Structure 1
Amino acid sequence: MAALWRRVAHLSFRSSARLLFSIKPAVPKSSKLLYSGVASLAVGGLCAVPFKQADDLSHDSLVRRAASLVTDSSSTFLSQTTLALIDAITDYSKAVHTLISLQKRYLDSLGKLSPAQEDAIWQVIIGQRTEVNDRQDEYRRFESTWFAAVKLCETAAEAAYVSGVEQASVTVRTYIQLAQSQVEEAQKISQDAEKKLTETKVMEVERTSQYAASLENNNEEEMPEAYLRED
């Protein structure tokens, strides 16, 4: 008998639920226009709120969800620009070290190369200097974009905080600190490479000046012998 009563109660609940969900609540015309407009924004990718539950969401909850979306997208933008900037700095540093190596090889071979060999080495050095300039331009371009991403994240973090999404704000600020520390580490490597390049240029000036002076001394010593042979 108890099982029979449970069966009857279950059938009665299903019938009541079917009747309840078949009734559509009346929605004011102005509300229909509002939800229709918001839904059209969602199609364009500007919002990701589950609109089937829009009647149950307050303005505060919608603002908090929007703030969370902004922090997520700005964090993604920052991570991508950080990766691009670090790669650009790394490529620039490698190009600088390659130039340093070429210049040192040239300095070590002063007076040991034929004019053709020396000209060939200089062509390679000039080409590498162009590569360094190109890599530096790329580095500066990504650096500018990265600064914009950091500012965007800072704005998103502030917006999330005032909207009541404190955790999202804290997360974005953590991402900013991490990105800044990673970029600073990469910049230290590039600055070290630039310092070594400057030292190599100073060494190049000194070595070439010494080599030119030694050639002049040799020419002055050989000059009297030439005159003697003419006499």
Structure 2
Amino acid sequence: MAALRRGVFGFRSFRLSSFLLNSSRQKVVSRDRVPFLFRCNYSKLALGIGTGLCAVPFSQKSEDLTHEALIKRAVSLVTNSANTYLSQTTLALVDTLTEYTKALYTLISIQKRYVGLIGKMNPNEEDAIWQLVIRSRVEVNEKQEDCKRFESNWMNAVNLSERAAEAAYVAGADQASVFARSHLQMAQTQVEEARQLSLKAERMLAEVQADEIRRTAQQAETSESAAGLEEEIPDAYLRED
């Protein structure tokens, strides 16, 4: 029985060895044949790939690399940067002018209230409302200084945008020049509108302050007249006696 098993095992090993040997021969033959049969096609494929790579166009055409084209591209970048600078300074100035205008109207409201109460307040009430007036005036002055600072930056941005637009026009970048000039006009319009609102508030404040001076003078005259009458009454009584 053991001998039979050894015989069967040996026969199976022999078949496996024969199968592996035949497979290796077929692989050798295939390896020998494949390069020979594929050599021509492989050469054609390599040539095709090389030709295809040579036929791929560059991302930039030759006319885009001339001095004129590069100058136009550079001046377009300059105008874009100038427009961004102008936009930021315009936004800052318009916001600051708006805050300044609000502070002016707050002061106008307080001073109108004070003018309406002239001669009707006791010293404590007058002192309290004057404290409000003083704080409001301080805020107005601070906002006005902010407007001056941002207006200086805005003027620099305007000058830069004008020069950038002119440079773009000279370089032949007409589209960049037109866009820069239109952007500049829009910024100037926005600032002018905000500035007109603040000027209107300043005129109203000046009118209220003039009214305050007039009412204060009238109140002073009334107080002096009342004091004069009080001094004359004892003399009249004395004359009657």
Q: CA deviation at 1:226?
A: 5.5
Give the secondary structure class of the aligned counterpart of 1:110.
Answer: coil
Opposite residue 50 of structure 2, the aligned amino acid is: S
Task: Let me know the Cα RMSD of the aligned residues.
Answer: 2.7
Q: CA deviation at 1:111?
A: 1.9
Q: d(CA) in 2 for partners of 1:12 and 1:179?
A: 60
1:137 equivalent in alignment to 2:171? no
Q: d(CA) in 1 for partners of 2:191 and 2:54?
A: 59
Which of 97, 102, 114 in structure 2 is aligned with 1:94?
A: 102
Give the secondary structure class of the aligned counterpart of 1:172.
Answer: helix
Partner of 1:113: 121
* 1:201–1:58 distance in 2 versus 1, CA, 3 Å: same
Partner of 2:50: 16
Q: d(CA) in 2 for partners of 1:185 and 1:19?
A: 59
Q: CA deviation at 1:224?
A: 3.7
Q: Cα deviations across residues 32-87 of structure 1 (Å, max 9, x unaligned)? A: xxxxxxxxxxxxxxxxxxxx869872222211111010000000000111111111
- TM-score, scaled to structure 1: 0.76
Partner of 2:80: 72
1:177 equivalent in alignment to 2:185? yes
Q: CA deviation at 1:184?
A: 0.9
Q: CA deviation at 1:11?
A: 3.8
Q: d(CA) in 2 for partners of 1:200 and 1:179?
A: 32
Q: d(CA) in 2 for partners of 1:166 and 1:130?
A: 48
Which of 84, 89, 95 in structure 1 is aligned with 2:92?
A: 84
* Structure with greater helix share of residues: 2
5+ residue gaps, structure 2, are 1-40
Q: CA deviation at 1:13?
A: 6.1
Q: d(CA) in 2 for partners of 1:199 and 1:170?
A: 43
5+ residue gaps, structure 1, are 1-6, 22-51
Q: d(CA) in 2 for partners of 1:54 and 1:79?
A: 34
Partner of 2:67: 59
Q: CA deviation at 1:182?
A: 1.0
Percent identity over the alignment is: 49
Q: CA deviation at 1:145?
A: 0.9
* 1:160–1:205 distance in 2 versus 1, CA, 3 Å: same
Q: CA deviation at 1:223?
A: 2.3
Q: d(CA) in 2 for partners of 1:216 and 1:204?
A: 18
Give the secondary structure class of the aligned counterpart of 2:118.
Answer: coil
Opposite residue 49 of structure 2, the aligned amino acid is: S
User: Greater CA deviation, 218-227 or 147-156?
Assistant: 218-227
Question: Is the radius of gyration larger for structure 1 or structure 2?
Answer: 2
